[in-house]
């Protein structure tokens, strides 16, 4: 049984059967929900309803939350840590789809489709998550059109990012993909930041191999491009830290 199986089983238990001491736990879960952007603006009574369908879980680095084909009974909200979503081929090859971190959620689309997961989820670091049961989400959406809009907006952002990924993989060179990724990690992914100059240091959130897969590159190709950027005097690499000598100069090299 995966950690998600255990969590989903707990989420579906009748709240009336809970032991008395769980009342305090519900209050703590409600506080965690209130701090998440998705639930911002909801009244305490509304958040309390979600708390009855939410369970907190801690997962260790390397733990599998769910496999492709597992049933989806809700969605996950990341409180801390990093989660990887990936496809695994029959030969065991991995393609990373997303790398998610604190404040992000996953599983909503599959939850609404009432289909099993199409990817696997694995903790890249020790992580803490909330699993919110789908029935409590459906009930709240029926009550609150504003919450519906928040859910739709989140799914739309995912779709927009997916389209950007398709464009990047299809039309942009590996070099541009890596530079674009570094700019996004530094928060300089929009044209409004064109005038930003000077040196910056960017700490990669996970291993180069996982980032390479996320960018649809082999690890060898990823390393080769980093070496080319080093030789061009644009960056310096120290482990997972990328020192950019001049962010404006690096940005100017984009095709």
Q: How confident is the model at residue 148 (pLDDT cuts 50, 70, 90)?
A: confident
- Residue 156, token pair as written in the block: 């739309």
Range(s) within the chain of domains with CATH label 2.60.120.10: 3-167
- Predicted TM-score (pTM) of the model is 0.77
The superfamily in CATH containing domain 3-167 is Jelly Rolls (2.60.120.10)
| 51-60, 161-170, 184-193, 218-227, range with greatest mean pLDDT | 218-227
Rounded to 5°, the CA angle 19-26-115 comes to: 100
Q: What are phi and psi of 131, to 5 degrees?
A: -105, 125
Q: What are phi and psi of 190, to 5 degrees?
A: -115, 160
- What number of H helices and E strands is found in the chain? 10, 11
Q: Which residue has the tokens 């009930």?
A: 139
Q: How far is CA 195 from CA 180, 248, 255, in A?
A: 16, 7, 18
CATH architecture under which domain 173-252 falls: Orthogonal Bundle (1.10)
Average the pLDDT over 20-28 and give the result.
62
Closest CA to 210 of 243, 247, 240, 235: 240
What CA–CA distance (Å, rounded) separates 46 from 225?
50
- Averaged confidence pLDDT in the chain: 85
Range(s) within the chain of domains with CATH label 1.10.10.10: 173-252
């Amino acid at each position: 049984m995966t950690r998600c199986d255990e969590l989903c089983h707990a989420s579906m238990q009748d709240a009336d059967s809970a032991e008395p001491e769980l009342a305090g736990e519900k209050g703590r879960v409600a506080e965690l929900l209130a701090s998440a952007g998705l639930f911002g603006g909801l009244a305490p009574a509304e958040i309390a309803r979600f708390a009855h369908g939410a369970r907190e879980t801690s997962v260790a680095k390397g733990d599998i939350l769910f496999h492709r084909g597992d049933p989806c009974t809700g969605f996950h909200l990341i409180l801390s840590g990093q989660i990887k979503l990936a496809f695994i081929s029959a030969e065991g090859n991995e393609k990373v789809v997303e790398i998610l971190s604190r404040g992000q959620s996953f599983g909503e689309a599959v939850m609404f489709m009432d289909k099993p997961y199409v990817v696997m989820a694995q903790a890249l670091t020790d992580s803490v998550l909330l699993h919110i049961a789908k029935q409590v989400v459906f009930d709240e959406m029926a009550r609150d059109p504003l919450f519906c809009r928040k859910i739709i907006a989140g799914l739309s952002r995912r779709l927009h990012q997916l389209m950007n990924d398709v464009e990047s993989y299809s039309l942009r060179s590996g070099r541009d993909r890596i530079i674009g990724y570094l700019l996004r990690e530094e928060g300089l992914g929009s044209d409004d930041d064109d005038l930003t100059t000077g040196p910056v240091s960017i700490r990669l959130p996970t291993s180069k191999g996982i980032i390479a897969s996320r960018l649809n590159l082999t690890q060898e190709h990823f390393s080769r491009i980093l070496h080319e950027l080093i030789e061009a005097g644009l960056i310096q690499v120290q482990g997972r830290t990328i020192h950019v000598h001049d962010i404006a100069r690096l940005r100017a090299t984009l095709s």
